[in-house]
Structure 1
Amino acid sequence: MLWLKAFHIIFMVAWFAGIFYLPRLFIYHATNQIGNNEKVINEQFKIMERRLWFFVTPFAVLTAIFGFSLIYMYGTDWLKASPWMHAKLTLVALLYIYHGYLFKLMRDFQHDRNKHSPRFYRFVNESPVIVLFAIVILVVVKPF
């Protein structure tokens, strides 16, 4: 059980590193499009974004696999008696939706269809921090 927890946390941290950095690349990419719009730099951002996406997506999958393995090991009675876990799973579902949205944004950049400003991407970049805080508090404090 402790090995499952350890791997769940390891892959979650690696996944979060990626979902924090990918929107940061979007900020720089959008800034370049507004500024000098150099084609070589735009193409380099496209490569970096694509590679990062395909690097971190397996971490998202492994986070889910180890997380659901833990829920399975604890059992359905434990899950029913843990309302904090229901809140956590709701937030986690939002993170997977966010992850999918990052894919959509990346594809927009890949096809030169970006319509958002660097300021928009700053908001996108910072929003998962709030979700991370809430998840950690739910898991550690178990407020309900």
Structure 2
Amino acid sequence: MIDFLNSVYPWIKAIHIMAVIAWMAGMFYLPRLFVYHAERAQVGSELDLTFQIMEEKLLRVIINPAMIVTWIAGLIMIGLGAFDWGSVWAWVKIVSVIAMSGLHGWLSARRKEFAAGTNTRSGRTYRIVNEVPTVLMMVIVIAIIVRPF
């Protein structure tokens, strides 16, 4: 099995990169939807229901599957020796990916609050949160490509 995985390593890496792109696209967009949802939609209104559908489908159809594929492909690459666990960059990357996954979970919980009509956070909160995936993505890319530490 290891020989097979090594032989398809470039495909695993390509799948990983494509999944990361899809995951990040959703992680950039979902907090932006929350900004508009919090600022413009009254609970129970047609706009509220439209935002709920958009947010739920974005999570269920794009963000969740992309995160799962990202993790699976990443763990396979780690298993094949893609990480140098003695280097700081590897730890920075894995901690940042775990933080991104935690943010994913936090955003999922906020979607449930919007669906229940119990959101208490302002558009400003979601504007600030909207910057977190960008910062984490920058740290992850620099850690894996530049390996400055």
Answer yes or no: same fold by TM over 0.5.
yes
Give the drift of 1:88: 0.3
Give the equivalent residue in structure 2 for 1:86.
91
The 8 Å contact of residues 19 and 69 in structure 2, kept in 1 or not, is answered as yes
* Cα-to-partner distance string for 1:65-111 (whole Å, 9 max, x where unaligned): 00000010117xx5333331111000000000000000110000000
The 8 Å contact of residues 18 and 53 in structure 1, kept in 2 or not, is answered as yes
* Cα-to-partner distance string for 1:93-138 (whole Å, 9 max, x where unaligned): 0000000000110000000001011111101111110111111111
Q: Secondary structure at the residue paired with 2:18?
A: helix
Q: Secondary structure at the residue paired with 1:80?
A: coil
Large movers: runs of 4+ above 4 Å: none
Say whether 1:29 aligns with 2:37: yes
User: Where does 1:1-144 land on structure 2 (aligned, <5 Å)?
Assistant: 1-33=9-41, 39-55=45-61, 56-74=63-81, 79-144=84-149
- Consecutive unaligned residues in structure 1, runs of 5 or more: none
Quote the sequence identity (%): 37
Q: Distance in 1 between matches of 2:92 and 2:55?
A: 31
Q: Distance in 2 between matches of 1:103 and 1:38?
A: 20
CA-atom RMSD in angstroms: 1.5
Count of residues paired in the alignment: 140
Give the drift of 1:32: 1.1
TM-score normalised by length of structure 1: 0.92
- Consecutive unaligned residues in structure 2, runs of 5 or more: 1-8
Q: Secondary structure at the residue paired with 1:143?
A: coil
Which residue identity is paired with 2:58? L
